[in-house]
Structure 1
């Protein structure tokens, strides 16, 4: 999907004129999120998420490591992102862009600081052996809003993942192959979902789930991560125009509605996948 890095003046003017008339170039309403599709792989913890034409795959894996000295009873969550030029010509091979670093940090922050995953439940032997859970995010197509797509992919893959069962007898640790004993799901306390807003016309206009073109024209942006319990897990605003408090409150209300819808969709997709696996 080849795109120009900078929109033309005509594209810019047309997009802003449409927004002032409460319309968007792609036909969506101002608060509409593009369609979301989830596809699960043959192994647990493999998922591909498509948000409109933005597409990201996530793969979760686990290995046994020694815990950190300052946290002897906690496992580790490790996030790795990879954006190739295949996703968009604006990305260079072999170098991490600012956007990639920002996405990785935002997802890491929303997962870790809100303690979405029970890391103490990943402890096998205190001070000796814990599980390290690694989430690899591969960005396949970029048509705007990589953050929200990556957020959905990461938490869905973690919910779908199963680690091998472990038996500890004295100092002996046995890791059971998945064909001998049913693997174990991770303990997930809550589901953080990111919702991104772009702002235009000095902050008077906003859109949810920005497209690639809207991201090129925006004057500012904000990403709010929330769960269905109305808890804000993270709030990221990297520069751009200043926002009034009532605008931020308005965004939080929109976020809650979207988070409830997306969380429900993820749970349904996971339930459907579980049923299809049982039939095999």
Structure 2
């Protein structure tokens, strides 16, 4: 990663502001940035905006042979992509440490927590199962990538519909959406990641750090939890030692934030379902604010043009008595209002 380091003045300013319980965007210590969830025209496509952080998640499926160790279970696969469009620090076609961390955390949060009924993805035991693939694309990086990625992934999985199938012996028939309605996935719970940044050896704590705050933090604690207050995964990085009381405090804060985010996801899914059922317009284009672009008007101020022609002729003909004609012209036009 080609990360541009912060200057000592910026670091000192950020740490000083954190000590005074102030943040760059005006938030309080435990405040989350605004979250916006938008679904695409196809099932399983979702964009999440967490402040200026934007993440796109796309879910797809295909029939594949199952794993030998689990012949009656479907397969979950996660893939995260960091595009140079999201941040100058991301290099194309290169596997960075951040990319590996995001992939592993998503797998622990969603796959290892058994939030999806993988046995319902089995078509023919030992022969055919559904493989659910979740592609997460980071569109803009402004901190808390794992939080935004987990929200986008679980929202896209909840929105996704797989084709209906029927099996006769070893023959499998996949039906199109026109023939049979697609089937949603069986989701038990919604695990969501909440990030906590620690500063000055754990003396100060911030929820949902932005990109600049992440640069000066000493450590990061990520807790994945569902609305039932069940911890699905927990990960600490940065090399700082956290006390038991600090971890318990973060878990209590995470339970509140997860409940709020889960309610927001449920509301967004309900609105999308209602619009589709009523035959309204939906998708990313429809979610954009309707701003009417009109012709720009230029403000014009009155300009005093009295005796301008006569004065200009006097200067050109050399009849002006002033010994500094250019200075006179500058002084005269200085009274004009443009």
Which of the pair has the greater relative contact order for Cα pairs under 8 Å at 6+ separation?
Answer: 1
Confirm or deny: 8 A CA contact 2:106 2:150 kept in the other structure.
yes
Query: Root-mean-square deviation (CA), in Å?
Result: 1.1
Shift in Å, 1:69:
0.9
Structure 1 residue aligned with 2:161: 162
**Helix, strand or coil at the partner of 1:237:** strand
**Residue 114 (structure 1) aligned with residue 113 (structure 2):** yes
* TM-score normalised according to structure 1 size: 0.97
Structure 1 residue aligned with 2:99: 100
Structure 1 residue aligned with 2:312: none
**Residue 236 (structure 1) aligned with residue 241 (structure 2):** no
Q: How far does the alpha carbon of each residue in 1:141-171 deviate from its partner, in whole angstroms, 9 at most, with x for none?
A: 0011111010101100000000001112333
**Helix, strand or coil at the partner of 1:24:** coil
Structure 2 residue aligned with 1:224: 223
Task: Give 5+ residue unaligned stretches, structure 2.
Answer: 280-338
Q: Equivalent residues in 2 for 1:178-197 (5 A)?
A: 178-197=177-196
Shift in Å, 1:4:
6.5
Residues in 1 aligned to 2:222 and 2:235: alpha-carbon distance in whole angstroms: 5
* TM-score normalised according to structure 2 size: 0.81
Residues in 1 aligned to 2:212 and 2:45: alpha-carbon distance in whole angstroms: 30
Residues in 2 aligned to 1:195 and 1:6: alpha-carbon distance in whole angstroms: 26
Report which of the two has the higher share of strand: 1
Structure 2 residue aligned with 1:246: 245
Q: How far does the alpha carbon of each residue in 1:197-233 deviate from its partner, in whole angstroms, 9 at most, with x for none?
A: 1100110101011100000000111100000111100
Shift in Å, 1:104:
0.8
Deviates more, 1:202-211 or 1:167-176: 167-176
Shift in Å, 1:244:
0.7
Structure 2 residue aligned with 1:87: 86
Structure 2 residue aligned with 1:171: 170
Deviates more, 1:235-244 or 1:69-78: 235-244
Aligned length: 278
Structure 1 residue aligned with 2:205: 206
Confirm or deny: 8 A CA contact 2:218 2:238 kept in the other structure.
no
Structure (1 or 2) with the larger CA radius of gyration: 2
Shift in Å, 1:12:
1.3
